[in-house]
């Protein structure tokens, strides 16, 4: 039987992220307040990257990361150093987030409690379940950052 809490968390967190991204204008996706470098676009891509990387690595599977996204959206990324022409648009990132949600739903639904409780590949001190929870918790935090950036943009326009 699938872990209902993980499934609920996946649906809630990804759903919230997608709702926050729905009505963002293309010109505001790459705005960052003075002194910061992470934009709405970066947070959206980072959400994709983290869930993919942490879940698939924990399972010993190959993550499906689009070319160039590690450099743009990983924890090692430096968004302020990425040439502007290399960034995907938010309209390219959102369908990837939706597709990933469906794919991760199938993957997680197919994992038994025994598989979820196994040590994560490469991190034997954590379980597969812990890796997935970590990714979803991190995405929830980044969704909050998206919300905050939208608020800051409204203040900056006044």
Reported as a single tens digit per residue, the pLDDT across 59-94 is: 999 999 999 999 999 999 998 889 889 999 999 999
Q: Sorting pLDDT into bands at 50, 70 and 90, what band is 53?
A: very high
* Tally of helices (H runs) and strands (E runs) in the chain: 6, 2
Overall domain count for the chain: 1
Name the 3-class secondary structure at 37: coil
Which range marks the domain in which residue 147 is found? 4-156
Q: How far apart are CA 115 and CA 119, in angstroms?
A: 9
pLDDT on residue 3 = 85
Task: Specify the CATH number for the domain of residue 25.
Answer: 1.20.120.450
For 2-22, the pLDDT digits (tens) are 789 999 999 999 999 999 998
Task: Locate 19 and state its tokens.
Answer: 């709702």
Q: Sorting pLDDT into bands at 50, 70 and 90, what band is 157?
A: low
pLDDT on residue 26 = 80
Burial class (CB in 10 A: 0-12, 13-18, 19+), 23: exposed
């Amino acid at each position: 039987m699938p872990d209902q809490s993980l499934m609920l968390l996946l649906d809630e967190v990804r759903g919230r992220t997608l709702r926050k991204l729905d009505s963002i204008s293309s010109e505001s996706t790459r705005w960052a307040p003075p002194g910061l470098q992470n934009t709405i676009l970066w947070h959206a891509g980072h959400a994709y990257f983290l869930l993919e990387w942490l879940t698939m690595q924990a399972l010993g599977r190959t993550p499906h990361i689009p070319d160039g996204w590690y450099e743009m959206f990983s924890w090692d990324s430096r968004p302020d150093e990425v040439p502007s022409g290399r960034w995907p648009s938010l309209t390219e990132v959102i369908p990837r987030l939706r597709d990933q949600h469906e794919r991760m739903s199938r993957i997680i639904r197919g994992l038994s409690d025994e598989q979820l409780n196994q040590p994560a590949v490469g991190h034997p001190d954590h379980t597969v379940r812990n890796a997935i929870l970590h990714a979803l918790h991190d995405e929830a935090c980044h969704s909050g950052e998206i919300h905050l950036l939208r608020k800051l943009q409204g203040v900056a326009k006044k």
